[in-house]
Structure 1
Amino acid sequence: MTMNSDPTAFALRRSVLSLPASNERAIAKLGSLAMDAVILDLEDAVAEEMKAAARDNIRKFMAAGLAGGREIIIRINDAASPHYQDDLALVLETQPNAVLLPKVRTSDDVLDLSLFLSENDAPDMLRIWAMMETPLAILNAGSIAETGRTRGGRLDCLVVGLNDLRKDTGVMPDPARTYLVPWLMQVVLAGRGFGLSVIDSVSNDFRDLAPFEAECAQGRAMGFDGKMLIHPAQIDAANRHFQPSESEIADARAIIDAFSAAGAASLNALSVGGRMVERLHFQQALALIAKVDIIRARSA
Structure 2
Amino acid sequence: MHKPIRPRRSVLYMPGSNARALEKARSIPADALILDLEDAVAPDQKATARIQVAEAVKAGGYGGRELVIRINALDTPWGAHDLTTAVNARPDAILVPKVETVTDLREVAIKVRAGGHPIAIWAMIETPRALLRINEIAACANNPEIPLTVFVMGTNDLAKETRARLVPGRAPMLPWLTTTILAARACGIDVIDGVFNDFRDMAGFRAECEQGRDLGMDGKTLIHPDQVAIANELFGPSPEEVERARAIIAAFALPENAGKGAISLDGRMVELLHAEMARRTVALAEAIRKLEAAA
TM-score for the superposition, normalised by structure 2: 0.95
**One of 152, 157, 180 as aligned partner of 2:173:** 180
**One of 242, 251, 271 as aligned partner of 1:249:** 242
Shift of 1:142: 1.3
Q: Report the RMSD for the aligned CA atoms in angstroms.
A: 1.5
Corresponding residue for residue 255 of structure 2 = 262
Q: How many residue pairs are counted as aligned between the two chains?
A: 293
Find the aligned partners of 1:109 and 1:267 in 2 and give their Cα distance. Answer: 47
**One of 146, 159, 174 as aligned partner of 1:153:** 146
Code of the residue aligned with 2:135 in structure 1: it is G
The answer for unaligned runs of 5 or more in structure 2 is: none
Find the aligned partners of 2:258 and 2:77 in 1 and give their Cα distance. Answer: 58
Find the aligned partners of 1:116 and 1:28 in 2 and give their Cα distance. Answer: 28
Residue 22 (structure 1) aligned with residue 17 (structure 2) = yes
* Mapping of residues 34-73 of structure 1, within 5 Å: 34-73=29-68
Find the aligned partners of 2:23 and 2:32 in 1 and give their Cα distance. Answer: 15
Structure 1 runs of 4+ aligned residues shifted over 4 Å read: none
Corresponding residue for residue 73 of structure 2 = 78
Find the aligned partners of 2:290 and 2:99 in 1 and give their Cα distance. Answer: 35
Corresponding residue for residue 141 of structure 1 = 134
The answer (yes or no) to whether the contact 2:6–2:287 under 8 Å persists in 1 is no
Find the aligned partners of 2:232 and 2:30 in 1 and give their Cα distance. Answer: 8
Residue 102 (structure 1) aligned with residue 94 (structure 2) = no
Sort the Cα spacing of 1:31 and 1:113 in 2 relative to 1 into closer, same or farther, 3 A.
same
Find the aligned partners of 1:27 and 1:65 in 2 and give their Cα distance. Answer: 11
SS, match of residue 288 in structure 1: helix
Find the aligned partners of 1:47 and 1:115 in 2 and give their Cα distance. Answer: 28
Find the aligned partners of 1:31 and 1:193 in 2 and give their Cα distance. Answer: 34
User: Identity over the aligned pairs, expressed in percent?
Assistant: 44
- CA deviations over 1:148-173 (Å, ceiling 9, x no partner): 00132200000100111000111112
Shift of 1:77: 0.5
SS, match of residue 228 in structure 1: strand
Find the aligned partners of 1:181 and 1:83 in 2 and give their Cα distance. Answer: 33
Shift of 1:271: 2.4
Corresponding residue for residue 86 of structure 2 = 91
* Structure that is richer in helix per residue: 2
Sort the Cα spacing of 1:69 and 1:246 in 2 relative to 1 into closer, same or farther, 3 A.
closer
* Mapping of residues 255-294 of structure 1, within 5 Å: 255-294=248-287
Residue 6 (structure 1) aligned with residue 8 (structure 2) = no
TM-score for the superposition, normalised by structure 1: 0.93
Shift of 1:246: 3.0
The answer for unaligned runs of 5 or more in structure 1 is: none
Corresponding residue for residue 129 of structure 1 = 122
Sort the Cα spacing of 1:143 and 1:263 in 2 relative to 1 into closer, same or farther, 3 A.
same
- CA deviations over 1:144-203 (Å, ceiling 9, x no partner): 111000132200000100111000111112011111111111111111111111000000
SS, match of residue 179 in structure 1: helix
Find the aligned partners of 1:73 and 1:195 in 2 and give their Cα distance. Answer: 19
